[in-house]
Amino acid sequence: MKKLKFIFVIALVIMVAFSAGRFFFPQKDVEARSSGWAQIADERGLTEDDIRAAMMTYTPSGMLDQYVMFASGGHSGQVFAIGLPSMRLLRTIAVFTPEPWQGYGYGTGNDILEGGNSLGAEVMWGDSHHPALSETDGDYDGQWLFIGDKANGRVAVIDLRDFETKQIIDNPLYFNDHGGTFVTPNTEYVIEGGQYAQPLGSEYAPLDSYESEYKGLITFWKFDREAGRIDESQSFAMELPPYWQDLCDAGKKVSEGWVFCNSINTELATGGAGKGQPPFEAGVSQNTTDYLHMINLKAAEEVFKAGNTVEVEGMQVIPLDVAVQNNLLYFAPEPRSPHGVDVAPGGEYMVVAGKLDPHVTVYSFQKVMDAIAAGPTETDVYGVPVLSLESVREAEVEVGLGPLHTQFDNQGYAYTSLFLDSAVARWSLGGEGYRPEDGWKLQAKIPVQYNVGHIAVAEGDTVAPDGAYLVALNKWSIDRFLSTGPLLPQNLQLIDISQGGETMQVIYDMPITAGEPHYAQIIKADKLQPWDVYPEVGWNPITQSVDPNAVAPGEEGVVRDGNNVTVKMTAIRSHFTPEHVEIKAGDHVVWTITNMERARDATHGFSIPYYNINLSIEPGETITFEFDATKSGVFSWYCTEFCSALHLEMMGYLLVEP
């Protein structure tokens, strides 16, 4: 049936092309061209599905993509901006790791990277995990992007006007995180859930004191939109039992004001294989259920504002007993070793998938509220009230092996990644406003290659998902690409989910040579309004305003004050002014360069050997860098971007006299 339909469509396309061609061109040309398509398909062994996939993704030169996907760069520490449906990599956004092309960390970006020093120690990489686009009324607004660093417990803020990182915040309480970042529906807070329990701050405590001295954690970073920065003074954390809080999601619409996190290791396992203890992987998986955490953020904010906190390493922390007394925290059992919790578009349902359970479990927010009102009758060992699973469960849907993460579309379907099956399951939400006619039921499954972790649907975690496309972020690619030795690329697969029912099709495989891709979010391209060039000449991208030290034409030169030398320089095709900078060994140099260009894409680079200076100065941008002239000699600088025909001549000499 599908085949017939396809042949019909192709025939129609050829007929239309043919008759149009007859009108415009001599008949012979059209015949040659139409037979050319079929011949190419034949020669390359392309199936009908392949041709359909090509037609859906092929993006001719000059045609722009419909969506932008912001994908975590894993332990590259960066974020990738990828166009959909072409799957073309548009930009690497430098975040936790220096990035040479953008000059990030080689004269610029250093302050931002240093802001992320971990308790004062220099950390020059990150394991970027979950990107979160800023939201207004639960919908992406295209203004800001946040991402967490699991390896070092940090959070970064990216401005989508110039796709550049503006802030890295180190959580002084914890050395790692996983449940970050997620935002509340109006981006009041950036949520950073913890992961591996530890004593708060940099304290030491032996593992046999785990139950009392090790703590779980969630941090609510207050985002100041006006300043474009996280405001640490308005941020707070909440102590949790030392389970391993894993992934979080903010409530939305009916559940706005609440935050949900899954957890593992309610067993309180501390490892110790070889010392008579079960190894971690067994110790952490003994219980048949762990605890879904439900946090009343609105009420927690009140407790924080009332000063009912303790200070640890400069952070305000709501202690666990205060959280319990103030009804800020509730638990409900969740099936074995869950990985994440995802809130449905209307906020009525929270979906949890247990890695060791073939079902997804759907919790009803209304039932949670009812169970809380009825008064929980049980607590966990730390005194946190536990709601019974029966009282809050809405549905259970068998989806397959190793279910992990869930996303939603605009047709009332949910999609869950199946790690062990290497597949994505589509299932219907049986609730009102979704697909009550279908009930809570598995609808279709599509194999992916291979070992899928997160999935991302276009705007699939907002209050108004687009559907259309799903990207599977696969950890293994095995046989999908030419071999690159024992280390293979990861595989992002684009899936067409527009047709509903049982139909889904993989339409593109994108190898990505950075691992491992964790989460991604996909935003409609027209919601992004990046600048073409910086708004005014002399712009400082850190302050997003004109820099008082910007250099105007005619102001260039070298000024000495004792051992302090100030260099003021302009750059415009194909010339740096001044061309010579003559200083003395031992000088401290503060050097400002303003790119005078107003033309789009007219970026100049700037590099000084030995001193590790390497800049990218975009049109209108002003950059200031400093160094101590510790070595005398002759250092030629040059523009590293091939900006014009006379680009090779865009150079100069730094002469450091002994």
Tell me which of ligand K7E, ligand CUA, none is bound by residue 454, counting a contact when its beta carbon lies within the kind-specific cut-off of 5 to 8 angstroms.
ligand K7E
Among 107, 430, 453, 465, binds ligand K7E (CB under 6 A): 453
Q: How far is the CB of 236 from ligand K7E (least distance, A)?
A: 24
Helix axes 2-24, 27-44, angle to 10 degrees: 150
What is the phi/psi pair of residue 201, to 5°? Answer: 75, -155
The one-character DSSP state at 649 is: G
Asked if 154 touches ligand K7E (CB under 6 A), the answer is no
Nearer to ligand K7E, 426 or 454 (CB): 454
Binding mask 128-147 for ligand K7E (x = CB under 6 A): -xx-----------------
Shorter beta-carbon distance to ligand CUA: residue 367 or 604: 604
Using the contact rule CB under 6 A, the part of the chain among 216-224, 284-292, 582-590, 634-642 near ligand CUA is 634-642
Given candidates 106, 220, 258, 519, which one binds ligand K7E under the rule CB under 6 A? 519
650 binds ligand CUA (CB under 6 A): yes
Nearer to ligand K7E, 371 or 418 (CB): 418
Query: Which option in ligand K7E, ligand CUA, none does residue 519 bind, with CB closer than 5 to 8 A by kind?
Result: ligand K7E
Among 169, 639, 654, 656, binds ligand CUA (CB under 6 A): 639
647 is a site residue for ligand CUA (CB under 6 A):
yes
If one asks whether residue 651 binds ligand CUA (CB under 6 A), the answer comes out as: no
- Alpha-carbon 550 to chain mean position: 33
| CB of 500 vs ligand K7E, minimal distance in Å | 26
Q: Which is nearer to ligand K7E, 405 or 568 (CB)?
A: 405
Asked if 604 touches ligand K7E (CB under 6 A), the answer is: no
Where does 357-473 have alpha helices with state H? 365-374, 389-392
Binding characters for ligand CUA, 569-608, by CB under 6 A (x = yes): -----------------------------------x----
Name the nearest CA neighbour of 195 among 524, 518, 567, 529.
518
Nearest Cα to Cα of residue 520 among 255, 512, 506: 512
Cβ at position 650, least distance to ligand CUA in Å: 4
Report, in Å, the least distance between residue 151 CB and ligand K7E. 11
381 burial class (0-12, 13-18, 19+ CB within 10 angstroms)? exposed
Closest-CA residue to 243 (of 288, 276, 198, 204): 198
Q: For residue 274, with 0-12 CB atoms within 10 Å meaning exposed, 13-18 middle and 19 or more buried, which class applies?
A: exposed
Crossing angle of helices 48-57 and 2-24, in 10° steps, is 60
The residue (of 247 and 328) whose beta carbon lies closer to ligand K7E is 247
- Give which of 217, 202, 195 is closest to 265, Cα–Cα: 195
Phi, psi of 43 (to 5 degrees): -65, -35
Q: Single out the residue of 376, 326, 368 nearest to residue 347, CA to CA.
A: 368
Cβ-based neighbours of 489, under 8 Å, separated by 6 or more: 477, 481, 511, 512, 513
Only segment of 110-118, 143-151, 268-276, 642-650 that touches ligand CUA (CB under 6 A):
642-650
* 3-class SS string, 145-196: EEEEECCCCEEEEEECCCCEEEEEEECCCCCCCCCEEEECCCCCEEEEECCC
Residue with tokens 């953008």: 102
Q: Which does 641 bind (CB under 5 to 8 A by kind): ligand CUA, ligand K7E, none?
A: ligand CUA
The reply on whether position 641 binds ligand CUA by CB under 6 A is yes
Stretch that binds ligand CUA, among 49-57, 409-417, 422-430, 637-645 (CB under 6 A): 637-645
Give, as ranges, the residues between 485 and 524 that touch ligand CUA (CB under 6 A).
Answer: none
CB of 610 vs ligand CUA, minimal distance in Å: 21
Q: Applying CB under 6 A, which of residues 123, 217, 264, 643 lies at the interface with ligand CUA?
A: 643
Q: Could you say which residues in the range 365-404 bind ligand K7E, by CB under 6 A? A: 404
Per the listing, tokens 């050997």 go with 609
**Whether 522 contacts 67, CB under 8 Å:** yes
Binding string, residues 335-364; x marks residues near ligand K7E by CB under 6 A: ----x-------------------------
The site map against ligand K7E for 398-437 (x = CB under 6 A) is ------xx--------------------------------
**Nearest-approach distance from CB 398 to ligand K7E, in angstroms:** 21
52 binds, among ligand CUA, ligand K7E, none (CB under 5 to 8 A by kind): none
Find the part of the chain contacting ligand CUA (CB under 6 A) among 219-227, 475-483, 540-548, 639-647: 639-647
Instruction: Choose among 317, 310, 134: nearest CA to 220.
Output: 317
CB atoms inside a 10 Å sphere around CB 532: 11
Beta strands across the sheet bearing 452-458: 88-93, 79-84, 67-72, 520-524, 452-458, 467-474, 490-496, 505-512
Say how far apart CA 514 and CA 86 lie, in whole Å.
Answer: 19
The secondary structure of residue 464, as a DSSP letter, is S
The residues facing 423 across adjacent strands are 418, 447
621 near ligand CUA (CB under 6 A): no
Give dist(CA 360, CA 395) in Å, integer. 8
* Contacting residues toward ligand CUA, per CB under 6 A: 604, 639, 641-643, 647, 650
* Contacting residues toward ligand K7E, per CB under 6 A: 129-130, 178, 247, 339, 404-405, 453-454, 518-519
